[in-house]
Chain A
Amino acid sequence: MATTMHIRSIKDIVRAIDNKAGEYAGKAGKRPGEALGEALGGALGEVLIDIELSLLPKLALDIVDELHGTLQFIFAVDERSHNNGFSLHHIFGIPSKHCLLHLKSVIPADAPEFPSLALQLPAMNWHERKIADMLGLTPVGHPDPRRLVLHEDWPQGVYPWRDDFDSKQKVPRVKGTYEFHRIEGEGVFEIAVGPVHAGIIEPGHFRFSSVGEKILYLELRLFYKHRGIERFMRGRSLLEGALVAERVSGDETVANSVAYSQAIERIFKVAIPERAQRLRAVFLELERMHCHLADIGGAATDIAFSIGAAKAALLREKVMSLCEMVSGSRFLRGMIAPGGLRRDIDNEVIHRISSFIEIALCDVKELEATTFSRSSVIDRFMKTGVLSTEHALNLGVVGPVARASGIAVDTRTDYPYGFYAMHPLDIITRFDGDVAARVRLKFDEVRQSLGIIEAALGAIKSGAVRTGDFAVSSRGQALGWVEAPRGMTLCWVEIDDEAKIANCRLRTPSFNNWPALPYALHGNIVPDFPLVNKSFNLSYAGNDL
């Protein structure tokens, strides 16, 4: 699958991408994405290129500078059993070419290290530290070599992603303490919050260094919820993989399972039926709606604006009840599987979704008017938690957070898949980068989602919702991508000869967006932290995996 031509410079990479685009241009289609979009549920999409490890730093910087690529995902896999080393994968998004560039290099087993690029490309920071924790590969020259995923009581030299790790053992605890960054000076004090918080939210530790009310520095310490999902996927059947993907992050149930299923479908080269594509889009947008509405309500709660919170909760409950009516699960669980949907839905149910759109549009309009007509709301939302475009770009921020800071990125448009390849979207952006921009953007996106649902159901035809034979397989790997409510989700899957998952790597949007939170908070006051955090709407479960 990988391009065999020898890659020496950025020009070779551009040529490889253009060659692949040329292959697809032969097939019918008006836009670059469309030809393959119809065939495989993806755009030009993943372009896999093998490179030499020594060329990586130069190429990565050139991709960012010359092709305006953004780093999305770095992961590594233990391939010592059949490849005499570890494979290191860098995935860059290049929106101008509708392409996810997948650079693969090999780290020899006897020299388990790779050049760190976190200083030049800050977006790589957490990705490289995660690889160091999980596989014991050292990012040489990393500015912050502390542990990230595994806390200090995890013994040295035990790496869960290595093949020789015994997944049945109980790993002993050792003594160790995490060193927080210290901010010193007259009047600087620390506020420690978490991991158990005051609200009904997930666990994580926040260490504020502040002077009076002003936040000078915020350090995040997460990964309390680390469940070892990526290791857990090994050896699972394809259906079990979908069930695990559904349970990675509660309000990204559909997004994660679709990303996983698309990766499997791309390995087996299966094109799912149009009805399944349309219904997947409907489920994805319903999920985006309830996730955004929870977020809008949460922001209202955090400024003690009860009426807005109550109205948002009511509207969200309507969406959840609709999901329950559609699938029997309020989170739309048990619907998505490789090859399409696990079961069809009745035409009567489709009719009820369509008739819901009109009601929801009225409710959204009323909710927005209620929220933004109050001076108390505007006072708290405006100019709070500003994330500058520059920081957002450097940190590889995705999803609504990036779009509210003026960056036009949207997986549905940049790398169209499934129904979105037939139905081009406008990317909604706002430019202030503050809480108000993020909340307003979410209102716009809820309305956009209703439009997509209407379009997807408008021309839906009856037919099969599942296809493909996934029983016979040979070793293969592919990437799946989806615009989740929080931004781009990437799922890379490798399967073995028996159609079981050999390796799976997952990156939810929260993993890219968490490191940007402290930058948005710099100079804000401590009481605004919950509000800014809510407006980012980050998942801990999806981040910690």
Chain B
Amino acid sequence: MRRISCKRICRPKVTIKDIDAQRSSNSGRWMPVPDGLVCSGCTACVKICPTGAITLKNDRQLVFKYDACIACRACVDACAPGALVMGPGIDGATSRGALTHAFSINKLSPNLPEKPQTKDAVIPEKIKIFARSMHVREVDCGSCNACELEIAAISNPVYDAERFGIHIVASPRHADVLFVTGPVTRQMELALRKTDAATPTPKLIVAIGACACSGGLFGNTPVTGTGVDEFIGVDLYIPGCPPSPRAILRSILALRSGTI
């Protein structure tokens, strides 16, 4: 067997490209995107969307709120001209606004607007200190357990989050980062607030999944909230229902390297 070099064991500078290199043809973060065909403006997609993630603005722009998208394909199936397809989806963002994309209905472009890349990204100090090591505590506030299974999967031998210095810990006292899932149910609200208070600052709060980002399908009922940011501040929103382990890792690495 070949000798394993230190470089292979300790890879402090693993980048998003390394994760990209592992991507198979199916990235699994499929979300509806326009495919360049002409939209008839029939609003079938707006009407059928179960979470209200699609709106028509001024009869000229189709606005997708990806923080609320549950990737159910209802809009793609309903689109008569076939102007919507399931695309690769989008990664996390630091605000819900950045997860909203508007497309002109006269020319539905498949390209999501990209943030201009700068060579020396300015990484906020709060994020910079976690650039190589993140201790994570997960709090489930009413998800369906799919997000938990995907978060658990980032530590498996395939995705191996430990190589990026991402380590799951048992107590909020040991944590730098809280992963929060679910729309925050009435009966978990107190536990979430207490866990947040028990986590020492500086800390990052990451909302994972459509429910945590916006309430998703189950949000805003007498027993559920409208996402994590109704209760505590959120630093990173990772959309998807559920986001795949790859999407979760990509989003966190992007946050650390200042590319989002």
Contacts and interface: CB of A to CB of B under 8 A. Distances in A.
A binds B: yes
Interface of A: 151, 160, 167-171, 195-196, 198-203, 223-229, 231-232, 239-240, 243-244, 247-251, 253, 294, 310, 313-314, 316-317, 320-321, 324-325, 328-331, 333-334, 342-343, 539-542
B168 A203 contact: no
Interface residues of B, number: 53
A201 B139 CA distance: 8
B26 A225 contact: no
Nearest to B158: A317
A329 B240 CA distance: 10
A250 B26 contact: no
B188 A228 contact: no
A330 B240 CA distance: 12
Interface of B: 24, 26, 28, 30, 48, 50, 70-74, 77, 86, 138-153, 156-158, 168, 170-172, 182-183, 185-188, 191, 195, 217-218, 221-224, 241-242, 244
B168 A200 contact: yes
B187 A223 contact: yes
Contacts of A195: 188, 191
Contact of A244 (B158, B168, B187, B217): B217
Contacts of B30: 328-329
Contacts of A226: 142, 185-187, 223
15 contacts: A170-B222, A203-B140, A223-B187, A224-B191, A227-B221, A227-B224, A244-B217, A247-B70, A249-B145, A250-B242, A251-B145, A313-B153, A317-B158, A330-B150, A330-B244
Given A226-B223, A310-B156, A329-B30, A151 B151 contact: no
A196 B242 contact: no
Given A247-B241, A321-B24, A541 B222 contact: no
A189 to B, nearest CB: 21
3 cross-chain pairs, A with B, having the tightest CB-CB distances, nearest first:
A250-B146, A198-B170, A250-B145
A321 B158 CA distance: 11
Nearest to B74: A239
Nearest to A240: B50
A27 to B, nearest CB: 35
Per DSSP, chain A at the interface is loop
Contacts, number: 151
A160 B222 contact: yes
Nearest to A253: B146
Contacts of B72: 243, 333-334
Given A196-B139, A200-B168, A334-B71, A225 B182 contact: yes
B191 A199 contact: no
A225 B185 contact: yes
Contacts of B170: 198-199
Contact of B145 (A229, A314, A539): A539
Contacts of A331: 146, 242
Contacts of B26: 324-325, 328
Contacts of A203: 139-141, 188, 191
Contact of A151 (B144, B171, B187): B187
A202 B140 contact: yes
Contacts of B244: 324, 330
Contacts of A333: 71-72, 241
A468 to B, nearest CB: 16
A136 to B, nearest CB: 16
Nearest to A170: B222
A376 to B, nearest CB: 21
Nearest to B223: A228
A247 B152 CA distance: 18
Contacts of B70: 243, 247
Contacts of B172: 196
Given A225-B188, A240-B50, 17 more contacts: A160-B222, A170-B222, A171-B223, A198-B170, A200-B152, A202-B143, A203-B139, A225-B140, A226-B142, A227-B183, A228-B224, A232-B221, A247-B146, A248-B144, A253-B146, A313-B158, A328-B28
Most chain B C-beta atoms within 10 Å of own C-beta, residue among A227, A253, A331: A227
B176 to A, nearest CB: 16
Contact of B153 (A160, A317, A343): A317
Question: Most A CB atoms within 10 A — which of B50, B170, B186, B188?
Answer: B186
A343 B74 CA distance: 12
A196 B170 CA distance: 10
B223 A200 contact: no
Contacts of B188: 195, 203, 224-225
A226 B224 CA distance: 8
Contact of B158 (A151, A160, A314, A334): A314
A250 B139 CA distance: 16
Contact of B28 (A243, A314, A324, A343): A324
Given A224-B191, A225-B185, A247-B70, A313 B157 contact: yes
A280 B108 CA distance: 35
Given A243-B50, A313-B156, A342-B73, A200 B138 contact: yes
Contacts of B157: 310, 313-314
Between A225, A310, A328, the greatest number of chain B beta carbons within 10 A of the residue's beta carbon is seen for: A225
Contacts of A168: 222
Contacts of B186: 171, 226
Contacts of A334: 71-73
Contacts of B143: 202, 225, 250, 541
A320 B185 contact: no
Contacts of B168: 200
Contacts of A539: 145
B28 A329 contact: yes
A328 to B, nearest CB: 5
A426 B60 CA distance: 60
Nearest to A313: B156
A241 to B, nearest CB: 10
Contacts of B145: 202, 249-251, 539-542
Contacts of A294: 149
Contacts of A231: 221
A198 B138 contact: no
Contacts of B28: 324, 328-330
B189 to A, nearest CB: 9
Contacts of B74: 239, 243
B170 to A, nearest CB: 4
A169 B147 CA distance: 28
Nearest to A173: B186
A239 B72 CA distance: 10
B153 to A, nearest CB: 7
